[in-house]
Amino acid sequence: MTNTPTATALPVAAAGEGPYSLAAGPDGALWTTLVHAGALARVTTAGEVTRYDTGAADCGPSVITAGPDGALWFTRARDHRIGRVTVSGELGAYDLPTPGSGPFGIAAGPDGALWYTALHADLIGRITPAGEVTEYPLPVRAAFASFITPGPDGALWFTLNRANAVGRITTDGRITVHPLPTPDAGPVGITAGGDGALWCAEIGVGRIARITTAGEVTEYPLPDPACRPHAITAGPDGRCWFTEWGTNRVGAITPDGRIEEHLLPAPGTEPHGLAFGPDGALYVALESGRLARLPLRS
């Protein structure tokens, strides 16, 4: 394990308000969801914070992503809506066709729309910047569709946490499911790596999995099987970076499976989402109300 003494922490919210997901915005700032406060925060690389309340404290803003229209889009998992915020802080929200669907993961697709997962409804949704929604049922039940990412093949890839699988959906709605080899792996975060494959975090067994676009899976055990890897993102250094929710660390994995780990600035922070900022540093959302900043080695 590699210690990172240069890691710093930026306060963004009260403890317990839950910075959860992170995205780099088109405005050169980081945007984070405050899942337990029904709010968003905009954070500059200098640590300046602007907070935007949705007006619905219990809406559960979860995953956030930069959209194709210059705004940020986010899921509202508890009131079952998709939210949108401009870089100047103007908020909007869209109702979804299926009641109680629990939208969670969201990503911009190659077709100019946003694609999201529905935790409770076994479907993948597509929403245009104008708010038009199309839903695609999954071929498996009680799957708990979680994170979603655009793949290198022009499709969207997503994790099926309780179905122990990774799914693929084309922009015209065709779905393929690829089972994972380890039982109860519990895939959560997923990202497209720089090597042309998909990488996902297996929270249930403490592994990182690599999935080719043909569905071939290789799993890499982490040093601590109980570390609970959660979110994962591709870095500018060619590695994929991930949070270890259960051990207060972030890790990095090379395309050939070599793993490096870094301690976060303070104990008990519960790291969740992560994203690279415009300054090239890695930012990590901490349940303790802060963002950690880790500069990459040059």
Which pLDDT score, from 0 to 100, does residue 5 have? 46
The reported pLDDT for the residue numbered 12 is: 94
Averaged over 15-39, what is the pLDDT? 96
Say whether pLDDT at 229 is over 60: yes
205-234 average pLDDT score: 97
Confidence band for 15, pLDDT divided at 50, 70 and 90: confident
Give the confidence band of 1 by pLDDT, cuts at 50, 70, 90: low
Closest CA to 73 of 29, 115, 37, 35: 115
48 is in an annotated binding site: no
Mean per-residue pLDDT, 98-124: 98
Mean pLDDT (whole number) for 229-238: 97
Q: What is the share, in percent, of the chain residues with pLDDT greater than 90?
A: 91
270 annotated ligand-binding residue: yes
Q: Which of 20-29, 83-92, 183-192, 262-271 has the lowest mean pLDDT?
A: 262-271
Q: Percent of the chain, pLDDT > 70?
A: 97
Reported confidence tier of residue 296, pLDDT bands at 50, 70, 90: confident
Q: Taking residues 263-276, what's their average pLDDT?
A: 87
Q: Which CATH superfamily is domain 8-294 in?
A: YVTN repeat-like/Quinoprotein amine dehydrogenase (2.130.10.10)
Q: Does 216 appear as a known binding residue?
A: no
pLDDT score for 138: 98
- Catalytic positions are 272
Whether the predicted pLDDT of 145 surpasses 70: yes
